[in-house]
Amino acid sequence: MPTNPPLSEADLARLGSRRQRPPPVPAYLPTGPNSPLTVNKGLYSKIQSAPRVLEQSFTLPIRSGKAWTAAAGSIIRISTPKGPQVGDLNIWSQHNPSERFWASRTRQLHSTHLSTHDRLWSCLPYMRPLLTIISDSLSWYGSDSNGGRVHDLLGTRCDPYINHLLSGGQSYDYHCHSNLVRAVREFGLEERDVHDVINLFQVTGLDEKGKYCMSPCPAKEGDSIEFLAETDVLMALSTCPGGDLSLWGFGADSEKEMEKCCRPLKVEVFRLEDGGLLEWEGSEVAGYKGNHGLGAVSKNEA
Ligand SMILES: [Zn+2]
């Protein structure tokens, strides 16, 4: 094992000054009551508890994927009907799939793990909320003794390419990436449209060296997370072949073993009985109309 060289006196001095830094404040805070980061919690709670009508419902079998659409103002509920199971979720604007969920910006705007009243934002050049979380039965989980939190935005989907690399050349076709690839074909999309996910019901964190770690899913039968669609959306979900992540690993033996902890997920889409409640802020793309300095002589070049 290579070891790091001992720290020089100069390094130690720099380390000392680093330790004296005051705790930073979060980089992205709401700038006022009308900030798009400030959710009208009263309104969203009212929407969440209002009478609703079921429009779509399906159960996603283990190790599979499915895509569906939901109109603006719909409530999408994803639940664990048989107990713990991780689900990898992708989201697009229904009418323009170039606009899709941007996991890293969402992480900056909210947190490494999402819960009630956090929003799922779209990529550039759009930059608007696609969904807002309106309920989360695991919101109590907080930070566990390993620093783990639930509904992960730190990581991404499992895929056959990294599995092939790490398992010494084995192939497996039912990773979340592949499940999502198969799911989106029905809507005319393809592999390149599959993007970084939110790992629903998944507990992750960073260890003391900053390395990504996963812990078993804490969901029980009937746990759920609910989203309000801020615009017309296309969504796709994979039931992760890692199941509840209590037996995860790489390679064919692991895939067989992990099947013991795989369970289905349920998806329901509702509309509100009283559509009048939906006079909410809505979702509009960001108003930047510049052209990135193209087509005009910049001050530096003049
Ligand atoms: Zn997966």
pLDDT of the chain, 302 residues: tens digit per residue:
567 788 999 999 888 887 777 888 888 887 777 788 888 899 999 999 999 999 999 999 999 999 999 999 999 999 999 999 999 999 999 999 999 999 999 999 999 999 999 999 999 999 999 999 999 999 999 999 999 999 999 999 999 999 999 888 888 899 999 999 999 999 999 999 999 999 999 999 999 999 999 999 999 999 999 999 999 999 999 999 999 998 876 666 677 778 889 999 999 999 999 888 877 666 889 988 889 999 765 555 54
Span from the CA of 47 to the centroid of ligand 1 (angstroms): 31
Span from the CA of 181 to the centroid of ligand 1 (angstroms): 13
Span from the CA of 25 to the centroid of ligand 1 (angstroms): 33
Sign of CA dihedral 112, 114, 118, 123: positive
Residue 29 dihedral angles phi and psi, to the nearest 5°: -115, 150
Span from the CA of 111 to the centroid of ligand 1 (angstroms): 21
Tokens read off for 259: 């099947």
Question: How many Å apart are CA 201 and CA 197, to the nearest integer?
Answer: 12
Span from the CA of 251 to the centroid of ligand 1 (angstroms): 13
Span from the CA of 239 to the centroid of ligand 1 (angstroms): 7
For tokens 């449209």, the residue is: 193
Span from the CA of 29 to the centroid of ligand 1 (angstroms): 32
Span from the CA of 256 to the centroid of ligand 1 (angstroms): 14
Could you tell me where the beta strands, DSSP code E, fall in the chain? 52-60, 65-70, 75-80, 87-93, 96-100, 119-121, 129-136, 149-152, 198-206, 212-215, 223-229, 233-239, 265-272
